[in-house]
Amino acid sequence: MLSFPASTLERSLTLTHLLVVEDEKGLQGLLTTNLEYEGFSVEVADDGIPALAAHRLRRADLIVLDLMLPELDGFKVLESLRQAHDTVPVLMLTARSAEVDRVKGLCLGADDYLVKPFSILELVARIRAILRRSRTTEPARSFTCGPFHFDFAAISATRDGRPLDLTSREMRILEILVTYSGHTHSRSDLLRLAWEPDARPSPRTVDVHVANLRRKLGDDDRHRLIATVGGEGYRWRERPDPSQ
């Protein structure tokens, strides 16, 4: 599962933060696991009142809001947000398929509407589309760092224009480190973010992949690009420039 432990909360603040408001425990877990695997920071509330309190305490970049909640329903949560002139993007989830409910949600200010049951792939695609429209964008996926150019969407890397033979797993680890340069990522963080939810690699697996990355990047003891931070984890030391 891709949830961040309390010790890494500060580092998780660099991620796009989603508030998932859903009272069904099984769906809560499914959404959290998959959304965190996609690189989001996720907080969960099981009703409207705690959801509004959580959003006040830590503002979400987007709210995934179930319509059918036990006390304060999704319509009332959305109405409360918009009456307070809060423009946070909202994607509503509901088992209701009636057109009148979809229209009501959109009229109250929802940004999109997804009817249960839905596929996780469609949910993620809609979240990304809403974030693009609202300009609450995800980190760039192409970076230049000194002689290096990394295109994570194309899974390619070069040094001084010459291609580097990196595996997709190495590119994923590199993307996490480079995107959030300056932040230390524990081995547990990297295992959660760079491996599939059902994978069972050991922390030693991270060390092996980082060692291979260092070798392929030409990283040496004189100027470590990937720094080892005590026994805690790894950090990318260079500040990247997002490609235009």
Start-end of H helices in 68-119: 74-83, 99-108
Q: Which two tokens stand for residue 166?
A: 């990196």
Q: How much is the pLDDT for 38?
A: 85
Listed residue (48, 41, 2) closest to 22, CA to CA: 48
Listed residue (140, 185, 215) closest to 4, CA to CA: 185
Q: Which two tokens stand for residue 29?
A: 């877990």
pLDDT under 50: residue ranges of the chain:
1-14, 136-138, 244
User: Are 41 and 62 in contact, with CB atoms under 8 Å apart?
Assistant: no
CATH classification of 142-242, choosing from 3.10.690.10, 1.10.230.10, 1.10.10.10, 2.60.40.290? 1.10.10.10
pLDDT tens digits for 172-207? Answer: 899 888 877 777 888 888 887 788 766 677 888 999
Listed residue (14, 15, 46) closest to 31, CA to CA: 46
Q: How much is the pLDDT for 232?
A: 81
Task: Count CB atoms within 10 A of the CB of residue 167.
Answer: 13
Q: How much is the pLDDT for 1?
A: 29
Rounded CA-CA distance 45/123 in Å is: 18
Assigned CATH for 6-134: 3.40.50.2300
Rounded CA-CA distance 202/131 in Å is: 34
Q: Reduced to 3 states, what is the DSSP secondary structure of residue 30?
A: helix
The dihedral built from the CA positions of residue 107, 23, 58 and 189, taken in this order, carries a sign that is: negative
- Residue-range domain boundaries for the chain: 6-134, 142-242
For tokens 């470590």, what's the residue?
224
Q: How much is the pLDDT for 11?
A: 39
Quote the DSSP letter at residue 231: T
Q: How much is the pLDDT for 12?
A: 41
